[in-house]
Amino acid sequence: MALSLYDTAARKKTTFVPLRPGRAGIYTCGPTVYRYAHIGNLRTYLLTDLLIRSLRFEGIVPFAVQNITDMGHMHEEALDRVEDKVIAAARAAGKTGREIAEYFTEAFFADCRRMNFLPADVYPRASAHVPEMIAIARELERRGAAYREGDYVYFDVARAKGYGELSGARLGEGEAAERTDVSIHRRKRHPEDFTLWLPAEPGREFSWDSPWGRGWPGWHIECAAMALKYLGDDFDIHVGGSDLRFPHHENSRSMAMTATDGRFAGLWMHAAHLLVEGHKMSKSMKNEYTLDDLSSRGVDPMDFRYYCLTLHYRTPMNFTWEGQAAAAKAFSRLKKAFSGSATAAGPGQEAAAGFRRKFRESVEDDLNLPKAVGVVHEAAHAGLPGAALRELAAEWDTVLGLGLIPAAGAETGEAGEKVAGDASFLPAPVVELVERREAARKARDFKEADTLRDKIRETGYDVVDEGSGPPRVKKIVGRGNG
């Protein structure tokens, strides 16, 4: 059996055949770094992690690109009413947009480590790729697929290649066609047309010179530019949340195809929505939970990861505290079953081979991890010899990433550093730095907090923000005073 993945564009499962034998290029729409990632975001990023792990399990070497949107993200229908999310957050905090972006980028990476996500190979920032965006817009102009109205440059959807193939959207119908009451749309030839370049008001922090005057790029061109730069105009897989399927992914895809004549991504994967207690997450509902919110209620990030693995990535997830508690108990029982297996005796290699086959079949069936987790539970209670069971657990955990058999001693920390257990006694200078950093965080002085984190690391320790309580401080082995 070969790896089969559901392609949103084709609307069916398809056998995955890499463009280059043994290798796969992956692009994931990453975070807009103006706030902490909520658990719905993290469920989407978990899909990328599981895909990377599963490709490696199949003997395929992935090259993963996940962008950081550090400017320019706003909804198309509200361009004349709502500002850049990063700039808005900066104004509220009394900081610069770059300070906000750097702080929440670091927070995103910290969440990824806590969730045990394998890192991408490249994390391009949108603000560092504006020249590439300008080049795409100019090429679209040259091809007659972009036009200028005043100080704005628009993509002409009527001249697009492949528009509607991903989402089923049709020109003149649906959501975009109903937004004619928004003033900015009156400059367009068609309601579905979207901005490639916008004029910058005087003093705007994120703005660049261009052939059309000083301004900034539209959101949809950002992902297209970064994907094309690092993966080319024909790569393997594009990953994102189902909420981005239209208009963001539809627009990015059709724009890239029109500008290059390539197919852009060969396969599109989308993670389904996450609800909380049956409701969409929102500020008004006060249910946009982060990992810190979960930690404050005693939920370990690995318990949440396990909870996510009990549902297929294309199945909407309804997060409930009762469901999370049940998942944590099941995960605890599973880990105990493995830790207590050292002296177990029972059926040998033939039984292990059967479980191994069923696990692989589950993974290869569009990453059916709920079924794979079921196989793990079955094997854990099948009376296999301890050595055989632990061998299976180690193999399967390369896909699941759950830490089924915790390694003794040090664990892997940021940038591959080895981090020992929590320091029992901290030198006074380190304690002072930690306290100063905590005060800076509470005051939302992000720049100072980052500076103090660097100083802490220089002493041979690292600080990990978890939950609503004090941070954990760990000694770095093999560096500084370690």
Going along the chain from its start, the domains and CATH numbers come out as 4-271 (3.40.50.620), 276-400 (no CATH), 411-477 (no CATH)
* Beta-sheet strand order (sheet of 61-66): 61-66, 23-28, 234-241, 264-271
Q: What is the pLDDT of residue 365?
A: 98
Bridge partners (DSSP) of residue 129 are: none
CB 97 within 8 A of CB 206: yes
Nearest alpha-carbon partner for 313 in 66, 54, 35 = 54
CB 369 within 8 A of CB 307: no
Bridge partners (DSSP) of residue 15 are: 4
DSSP 414: G
Quick check: pTM over 0.75? yes
Q: What is the pLDDT of residue 79?
A: 46
**Tokens 């005051």, residue located:** 443
Report the run of H or E that residue 45 belongs to, with start and end.
Answer: helix 39-57
Q: What is the pLDDT of residue 80?
A: 47
41 by DSSP, 3-state: which?
helix
CB 267 within 8 A of CB 7: yes
Phi-psi region of 383 (alpha: psi -120 to 50; beta: other; left: phi over 0): left
Q: How many CB atoms lie within 10 A of CB 9?
A: 21
Bridge partners (DSSP) of residue 125 are: 68
pLDDT tens, position by position, for the chain (482 residues)? Answer: 799 999 999 999 999 999 999 999 999 999 999 999 999 999 999 999 999 999 999 999 999 999 999 997 664 444 444 478 898 899 899 999 999 999 999 999 999 999 999 999 999 999 999 999 999 999 999 999 999 998 999 999 999 999 999 998 877 665 554 443 344 555 788 889 999 999 999 999 999 999 999 999 999 999 999 999 999 999 999 999 999 999 999 999 999 999 999 999 999 999 999 999 999 998 888 899 999 999 999 999 999 999 999 999 999 999 999 999 999 999 999 999 887 655 445 566 788 899 999 999 999 999 999 999 999 999 999 988 888 888 999 999 999 999 997 653 334 343 333 333 333 346 667 777 887 888 887 777 878 888 888 888 888 788 777 555 567 777 664 444 33
Q: Is the dihedral of CA 90, 94, 98, 103 positive or negative?
A: negative
Give the type of residue at 136: I
CB 71 within 8 A of CB 127: yes
Q: How many CA atoms lie within 13 A of 414 on its CB side?
A: 18
CB 212 within 8 A of CB 200: no
d(CA 207, CA 197): 10
**Tokens 């309804």, residue located:** 318
- Residue 454's alpha-carbon distances to 26, 107, 113, 188, 436, in angstroms, are 31, 14, 18, 48, 13
199 by DSSP, 3-state: which?
strand
d(CA 147, CA 208): 19
31 φ, ψ (degrees, to nearest 5): -80, 150
d(CA 262, CA 443): 49
Bridge partners (DSSP) of residue 463 are: 473
169 by DSSP, 3-state: which?
coil
d(CA 471, CA 463): 6
Bridge partners (DSSP) of residue 122 are: 65
Q: How many CB atoms lie within 10 A of CB 436?
A: 16
